[in-house]
């Protein structure tokens, strides 16, 4: 359980409206905990990038405030900017500079003395060390993305924002990046806020999930609890002998006859043993099958992915919020 001392940043009542009447964010409230990896998920146009822009000082909020380490980020931009790192979606870099000079210059912008050992380790972690003397212009899109990540980390921030950091890059970079982020989060208490279209990344990496839709935070929850609360498991029961229909004793057990009668499909929640209010528990089901002389050939279990849960949440926004309050 987190306490107030663990909160590195608080987003309080942030709204953003434009002159044309469009409202990008509506009263967003969110506490970010020190050392956590928070995945901010939402469909295109949900407000993810706008929110990150406000937090990092690139976009001005219409109302509300962001507080970091007790200081308002708009009123203390100069003091707090060193504590925040940002990897934007756009590949904006100094094309005619070398990798090493670009990264060193970024560190110097924050008034920090050179740290050759840290520079070398960071570039090696991102597989950039061998290309440190190459001009940015000569790099592939994936390598340019690595340079952006190096620039965001070179001043040793407390909070790192990753806005679609692995969009359009190779699998190797994705693995390199997440291996390094895990290490920094665990060893250095780096706080990471991630937006990504690769929801399997969020499932693999995040400690908590925040879902934003139409400019509003739908829910914020620990990933494991979210998976348990909304995830479902399916059990495919392969039968030794096919059935033409479900026996009467099994018709109340939330079972579906599939594969031309050769399998039974049973769905149940990840947070318990019961499929639904009307269904039998898994242990009761096995007993029922045995009592009806139905022999099992094999059992195959699958569970909902975070992506499936995410889509379900967007389709049933009101029900999801109510369920988490219970």
pLDDT, tens only, 91-141? 776 788 999 999 999 999 998 999 999 999 999 988 899 999 999 999 988
Domains recognised in the chain with CATH numbers: 4-227 (3.40.50.300), 232-303 (3.30.70)
The answer on pLDDT for 251 being more than 80 is no
Q: Do the Cβ atoms of 92 and 166 come closer than 8 Å?
A: no
Q: What confidence category does residue 3 fall into, taking pLDDT thresholds of 50, 70 and 90?
A: low
Buried/exposed code over 249-276 (b: 16+ C-beta within 10 A; e: otherwise): ebeebbbebeeeeebbebbbbeeeeebe
Q: Do the Cβ atoms of 161 and 87 come closer than 8 Å?
A: yes
Given 3-state DSSP classes, what are the helix, strand and coil percentages for the chain, each rounded to the nearest 5? 40, 30, 35
Look over the chain and give the mean of its residue pLDDT values, rounded to a whole number: 84
**DSSP letter (8 states) at residue 278:** T
pLDDT, tens only, 48-100? 989 999 998 889 999 999 999 888 888 888 888 889 999 887 777 678 899 99
What integer pLDDT is reported at residue 4 of this predicted model?
55
The answer on pLDDT for 204 being more than 90 is no
Q: What confidence category does residue 277 fall into, taking pLDDT thresholds of 50, 70 and 90?
A: very low
How many other C-beta atoms are found inside a 10 Å radius of the C-beta of residue 318?
8
Q: Using H for helix, E for strand and C for coil, what is the string for 125-141? A: HCCCHHHCCCEHHHCCH
Residue 10 main-chain phi, psi, to 5 deg: -125, 125
The answer on pLDDT for 302 being more than 80 is no
Q: Of the spans 168-172, 207-211, 263-267, 279-283, which averages the highest pLDDT?
A: 207-211
C-alpha–C-alpha distance, residues 242 and 262, integer Å: 4
What integer pLDDT is reported at residue 120 of this predicted model?
96
Mean pLDDT of 2-30: 89
Q: Do the Cβ atoms of 99 and 134 come closer than 8 Å?
A: yes
Q: pTM of this prediction?
A: 0.73
232 or 13, which is more confident?
Answer: 13
C-alpha–C-alpha distance, residues 91 and 67, integer Å: 28
Q: Do the Cβ atoms of 176 and 182 come closer than 8 Å?
A: no
Look at strands 191-195 and 159-163 and give their pairing.
parallel
């Amino acid at each position: 359980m987190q306490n107030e001392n663990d909160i590195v940043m608080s987003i309080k009542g942030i709204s953003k409206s434009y002159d044309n009447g469009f409202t990008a964010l509506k009263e967003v409230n969110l506490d970010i905990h020190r050392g956590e990896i928070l995945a901010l998920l939402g469909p295109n146009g949900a407000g993810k990038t706008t929110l990150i822009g406000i937090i990092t000082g690139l976009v001005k909020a219409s109302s509300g405030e962001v507080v970091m380490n007790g200081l308002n980020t708009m009123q203390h931009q100069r003091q707090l900017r060193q504590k925040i790192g940002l990897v934007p979606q756009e590949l904006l870099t100094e094309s005619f500079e070398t990798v090493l000079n670009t990264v060193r210059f970024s560190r110097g912008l924050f008034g920090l003395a050179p740290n050759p050992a840290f520079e070398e380790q960071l570039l090696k972690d991102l597989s950039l060390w061998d290309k440190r003397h190459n001009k940015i212009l000569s790099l592939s899109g994936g390598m340019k993305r690595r340079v952006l990540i190096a620039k965001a980390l070179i001043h040793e921030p407390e909070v790192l924002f990753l806005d679609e950091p692995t969009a359009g890059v190779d699998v190797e970079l994705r693995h390199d990046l997440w291996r390094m982020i895990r290490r920094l989060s665990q060893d250095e208490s780096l706080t990471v806020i991630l937006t990504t279209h690769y929801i399997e990344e969020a499932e693999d990496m995040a400690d908590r999930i925040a879902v934003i839709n139409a400019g509003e935070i739908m829910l914020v929850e620990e990933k494991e609890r979210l998976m348990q609360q909304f995830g479902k498991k399916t059990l495919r029961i392969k039968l030794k002998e096919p059935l033409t229909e479900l026996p009467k004793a099994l018709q109340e057990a939330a079972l579906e006859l599939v594969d031309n009668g050769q399998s039974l499909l049973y769905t149940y929640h990840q947070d318990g043993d019961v499929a639904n209010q009307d269904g039998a528990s898994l242990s009761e089901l096995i007993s029922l099958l045995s009592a009806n002389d139905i022999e099992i050939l094999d059992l195959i279990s699958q569970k909902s992915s975070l992506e499936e849960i995410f889509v379900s949440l967007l389709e049933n926004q009101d029900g999801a919020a109510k369920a988490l309050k219970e």
